[in-house]
Structure 1
Amino acid sequence: MKERPIIFNSEMVRAILDGRKTQTRRVIKPQPTLSERTGFNWNGYAYGIGSSHKDTIRNFANCFKVCPFGQVGDQLWVRETWQLIHSEYDEDEITYAPSVPEQHDSYWQPVYEVDFKGESRETRGFPWRPSIHMPCHACRLVLEITGVRVERLGDISNDDAKAEGVTPAGELLPNIPDAYLTPKGDFATAKVAFQRLWESIYGAESWQANPWCWVVEFKRVEGRGWQLIAN
């Protein structure tokens, strides 16, 4: 079993904590080219020569084991926006670490942006650290990979869009009795909600490009993650 870091924004961290998110899609870099007779040409190598389109897609992820996020049974520790604060502090005088301590001790504890519901720095009393700077010992979420495959971005199903943690657009609107005001068709689906989320992060052109993606399915590992830095 291997462990690797993975970054999620605060919205997706909340979805994981709520149990709504069990999949993530990440663009394959560089993008592979696909030929019916030669399989995937990717990163200077050919995979699945002579295989069918369906077999190539399945084998690329599961037989050749090239996914940078790992394979089934591996674990991912989540990096999220965070900070270290003193474990015993007065609400009027919060102390935060000017740098990440090299030694673990019981004086500091990590806190996470998603738990502060958008409070300003003036309200909470300290700045946030970017997720990329989170060390493993400060993470609170560990995920076990339960499935890996490759897929075109636009091929995501409505059920898989829900597994990405998004809320169908129709569920965000008030319950309006007038039939003509009720969201219809695609507007009410989780797939379109996922598309809007993707475009908000990567730009509309990224959805239109319809790239090949790693599709990583996971479950949360209970009892893992940070409890006290001293541990």
Structure 2
Amino acid sequence: MTERPILFSSAMVRALLDGSKTQTRRIVKPTGAHHIFQFRGKDEAHGADEPTGEWAWCSSAHVVSDHIRCPYGKPGDRLWVRETWRGVVEINPPGKCTELGVARYVPDQQYCRRVEYQATHGRDSEPWRPSIHMPRWASRINLEVTGVRVERLDQITEDNAQAEGAAPAWLDVDGGTVNVGQPTYRQGFARLWRDINGDESWDANPWVWVVEFKRIGEAG
């Protein structure tokens, strides 16, 4: 079992916490490659080659050394979530009682009295630290990978779009909304993807890693 970090926006952290997000899609890089395969290994019980659950992306139709393994692992591996955060640390000026203050930089857990998370914290003027700078000890969400596959972005189904934590939305047309028919999770996911990755990314319809997971509790 391998453990890896993964970044999520505040909106997606809230979806993780309420249980509505059980999938994430991430662009396969480099996008010029066009062959995918699953690693296979010996099934000792049956003596046959069976998929290991690990996917790779390759520039050749054959399995060669020049390939990219899924950076999010395989079923059974774990992911710890990085999100926007800050540390509240103990300050002890000479001659004063213990005080607490929001730290712009938290060197390690020893100095941190508690961690606050933007996704679930009220608005205030204190500074926040970017998710990319969150250390392992500050993370509160752990995920276990339950499935990995590769597909085109626009292959997402209505059920899968709901599992992405998207809210139903109307169809976007020329930057506006058209109130025709019913809002769908798929259209909500498209809007979410465009907000994060840009219109050009959605229009390019890239290959994406589809990572399915379950939450396994908060970090101790």
DSSP 3-state at the match of 2:166? coil
Distance 2:35 2:4 in 1: 31
In 1, the alpha carbon distance for the partners of 2:71 and 2:35 equals 22
- Pick one of 181, 205, 213 that aligns with 1:210: 205
Answer yes or no: is the 8 Å Cα contact 1:30–1:43 preserved in 2. no
Deviation of 1:165 after TM superposition, in Å, equals 0.1
Residue among 109, 113, 137 paired with 1:108: 113
Which residue among 77, 84, 88 is the counterpart of 2:87?
84
* Aligned residues of 2:33 and 2:59 also touching (Cα < 8 A): no
2:166: which partner in 1? 166
TM-score, normalisation: structure 2: 0.75
2:168–2:186 Cα contact (<8 Å) kept: yes
One-letter amino acid matched to 1:113: Q
1:139 pairs with 2:139: yes
Q: Contact 1:87 / 1:109 at 8 angstroms: preserved in 2?
A: no
- Cα deviation for residue 35 of structure 1 reads 6.8
Alignment length (residue pairs)? 186
Q: Residues 32 and 43 of structure 1 are in contact (CA less than 8 Å); yes or no, is this contact kept in structure 2?
A: no
Q: TM-score, normalised by structure 1?
A: 0.72
Alpha-carbon distance between aligned partners in 1 of 2:106 and 2:61, rounded to the nearest angstrom? 43
Q: Distance in 2 between matches of 1:143 and 1:160?
A: 18
Residue type at the aligned position of 1:19? G
Q: Structure 2: which 5+ residue stretches go unaligned?
A: 37-55, 92-98, 171-177
Name the amino acid aligned to 2:119: V
| Higher strand proportion | 2
1:120 partnered with 2:124: yes
SS at match of 1:96: strand
How far has the Cα of 1:86 moved from its partner?
Answer: 3.3
| Residue among 160, 183, 196 paired with 1:188 | 183
Alpha-carbon RMSD: 2.9
Question: What SS does the aligned partner of 1:68 have?
Answer: coil
Partner of 1:28: 28
- 3-state SS of the aligned residue for 1:6? strand
**For 1:219, what is the secondary structure of its paired residue?**
strand
Q: 1:167 to 1:47 in 2, by over 3 A?
A: farther
CA pair 20-137 structure 1, distance change in 2 beyond 3 A: same
Question: Which stretch shifts more, 196-205 or 143-152?
Answer: 196-205
Residues 30 and 65 (structure 1 numbering): CA distance in 2 closer, same or farther, change over 3 Å?
closer
CA distance in 2, matches of 1:25, 1:214: 6
AA paired with 1:133?
H
What is aligned with 1:12? 12
Compare the two structures and name the one with the higher helix fraction: 1
Percent identity between the two aligned chains: 50
Report the CA distance shift for 1:2/1:65 in structure 2 as closer, same or farther (over 3 A): farther
Spell out, residue by residue over 1:51-107, the C-alpha distance to the aligned partner (whole angstroms, 9 max, x if none): xxxxxxxxxxxxx9821110000000000000001379xxxx7502242223x3375
Once residues 21 and 62 of structure 2 are traced to their aligned partners in structure 1, the CA distance between those partners, rounded to angstroms, is: 31
User: Which residue identity is paired with 2:25?
Assistant: R
